[in-house]
Amino acid sequence: MKTIGLILLLLLTGCSAIQDVPYVKETLAYGEFTELNSLDTAVEKNLMLRLYKVPSHDHSCGIETEQACNYVYTLSVSTFDEHPEVNTYSLGTGYISDIAWLNEDAVDTVRLQYTMKSYSDSATPPTVQRVEQHVISVTPKTLIQLR
């Protein structure tokens, strides 16, 4: 399964949007991914979404082990067509949790809700933990921050 994800990301490197995504080499080499389509079976999925994460190498969180403080996140999007449209988007650096699909009636559009913290729960942050709720609308051509 990871091989398929890495092959998909490798194929995406030909897209113009991949130039805006940081940590491409690290993602291909040792990134982890989550198949977002398997999260909520009650919501119909008309796009394939994968969330990739790579440790950010930010050592300011106070952990004195090799454990990651936060991650750099990349979202890959693909249609299910014979010649699929594909794209990748940077979701920033932090720790994403509580991902949920929201109902969306538009064709080839997905709405996701998630929580972004500044550090993982196991980190000892140097400042107050920032916690933000995000809602995004994603298509193969755009990512719009709704909240």
Structure-token pair, residue 143 = 């990512």
Given a contact cutoff of 8 angstroms between Cβ atoms, the answer to whether 107 and 95 are in contact is: no
Residue 58: band (very low, low, confident or very high) from pLDDT cuts 50, 70, 90: low
pLDDT of 41 higher than 90: no
Please enumerate in sequence order all residues whose Cβ is within 8 A of that of 16, keeping only pairs 6 or more positions apart, or say none.
none
- Which DSSP state fits 130? P
> In 3D, which of 109, 104, 52 has the Cα closest to residue 79?
109
What pLDDT score does 141 carry?
94
CA distance 3 to 73: 19
Characterize the bridge pairing of strands 110-117 and 86-102.
antiparallel
Residue 100 CA to residue 142 CA, distance in Å, equals 19
pLDDT digits (tens, 9 = 90+) for 62-84: 555 556 678 899 999 999 888 88
Chain-centroid distance of CA 116 in Å reads 11
Q: Give alpha helix (H) positions in the chain.
A: 2-12, 24-30
Q: Cα 27 vs. chain centroid, distance in angstroms?
A: 11
78 strand-pairing partners: 48, 86
Question: What's residue 6's pLDDT?
Answer: 46
DSSP-assigned beta bridge partners for residue 86: 78
Q: For the beta carbon of residue 69, count every other beta carbon within 10 angstroms.
A: 24
Please indicate whether residue 56 or residue 109 has the higher confidence score (pLDDT): 109
Q: What is the pTM of this model?
A: 0.77
123-143: per-residue pLDDT in tens? Answer: 766 667 889 999 999 999 999
| Mean pLDDT of all residues belonging to the chain | 79
pLDDT value, residue 59: 59
Q: Which of 49-53, 58-62, 71-75 has the lowest mean pLDDT?
A: 58-62
Q: Is the pLDDT of residue 20 over 60?
A: no
